[in-house]
Amino acid sequence: MVSADDLTIDPDELLAALPGTSVLDARWRLGGRPGREDYAEGHIPGAVFVDLDTELAGAPGRHGRHPLPDPATLQAALRAKGVTNDKPVVVYDAGDGQAAARAWWILRWAGHRDTRVLDGGLQAWRDQGHPITTETPEITHGDIDVKPGALPTLTADDAAKLAKQGTLLDARVAPRFRGEIEPVDPVAGHIPGAVNRPTTDNTTTDNKLRAAADLKQAFAASGVRDDEPVGAYCGSGVTAAHTVLALHRAGRTDAALYVGSWSDWVTDPSRPVATGGE
């Protein structure tokens, strides 16, 4: 049985927990081939595909590219995937954990505490010699009751305040933070006062989430203090969810996510934009 107090699960542990665990395939990439096609070519037995763009987020618009989903719509989507109130859920992606972390965050925000990320994703599952299938499982409709707000979020105003009174971590790569490049959004740069800490700093070379003590030390080096608030943002609230996952492992279960992130920030031209280093 998966423990609600844990954040990740090893492939061997997941194999032993099947079929008593709901498994969601959250593979996704920014542009390019849809994750649903990857799922069709092979997935963990019993896994059900969940679409980050349309099921784990609301429609793109003035609140960013991946805003919070409508709770009733999310509930219907998760029930259609077979998610229940009392059955553990494991989410996975191709390997880097970023899309899976967004799925983890949404489920926990919705009140499903017994949700974990497959450490190392599908690549780790394959590397440990576990089976892959192309069969689509039969789904028993779930009964999850979505109760939004179980994890803290930030609005644009909250993020601006946090950057001054605590630590606001920018999870994007350094050139995007500095405003040297911006491949997606119409304005380049970062929220004034934010600290750049790319999501890749959260994992080992094999895409496993780093140990708690290691992460705590690394976050402290980025300015995170136990007695001050902390939050994270990225381009659209996907990679920053992985930073929140890492902060949870480091003991900061109060870490907040700016879901709209940079794609929300730049919708208002009156909001300040910083460029260059921190």
Residue 30, pLDDT score: 86
Tokens 């003991």, located at residue: 251
The helix or strand, by DSSP H or E, that contains position 49, with its residue range, turns out to be: strand 48-49
Across the beta sheet with 230-233, what order do the strands follow?
195-196, 167-170, 230-233, 256-257
Domain locations along the chain = 8-127, 156-265
Top CATH class of 156-265 equals alpha beta
CATH number of 8-127: 3.40.250.10
Tokens 């939050």, located at residue: 231
Residue 265, pLDDT score: 98
Q: Do domains 8-127 and 156-265 have the same CATH topology?
A: yes
Helix, strand and coil percent figures for the chain, each rounded to 5: 30, 15, 55
232 forms bridges with which residues in the sheet?
169, 257
pLDDT in tens, 125-142: 999 999 999 999 999 999
Q: What is the pLDDT along the chain (278 residues), one digit of tens a residue?
A: 444 458 999 999 999 999 999 999 999 998 778 899 999 999 999 999 999 999 999 999 999 999 999 999 999 999 999 999 999 999 999 999 999 999 999 999 999 999 999 999 999 999 999 999 999 999 999 999 999 999 999 999 999 999 999 999 999 999 999 999 999 999 999 999 999 999 999 999 999 999 999 999 999 999 999 999 999 999 999 999 999 999 999 999 999 999 999 999 999 999 999 999 86
Cα–Cα distance for residue pair 166/161, rounded to 1 Å: 8
The helix or strand, by DSSP H or E, that contains position 8, with its residue range, turns out to be: strand 8-9
Give catalytic residue positions: 234
Task: Give buried/exposed letters for 62-99 (b at 16+ CB in 10 A, else e).
Answer: ebbbbbbbebeebbebbbebbbbeebbbbbbbbbbbbb
Across the beta sheet with 115-118, what order do the strands follow?
8-9, 115-118, 89-92, 22-25, 48-49
Alpha-carbon dihedral angle through residues 9, 13, 14, 17, given to the nearest 10 degrees: -130
Residue 5, pLDDT score: 53
* Cα–Cα distance list, 83 to 101, 104, 141, 237 (Å): 17, 13, 8, 23
The 3-state DSSP class for residue 150 equals: coil
Residue 34, pLDDT score: 87
- Peptide bond preceding 19 in cis form (omega within 30 of 0): yes
pLDDT in tens, 15-26: 999 999 999 999
Residue 1, pLDDT score: 41
Strands (DSSP E) found in 85-229 = 89-92, 115-118, 167-170, 195-196
Task: Give buried/exposed letters for 172-191 (b at 16+ CB in 10 A, else e).
Answer: bbeebbbeeebeebeebbbb
Residue 2, pLDDT score: 44
Residue 86, pLDDT score: 95
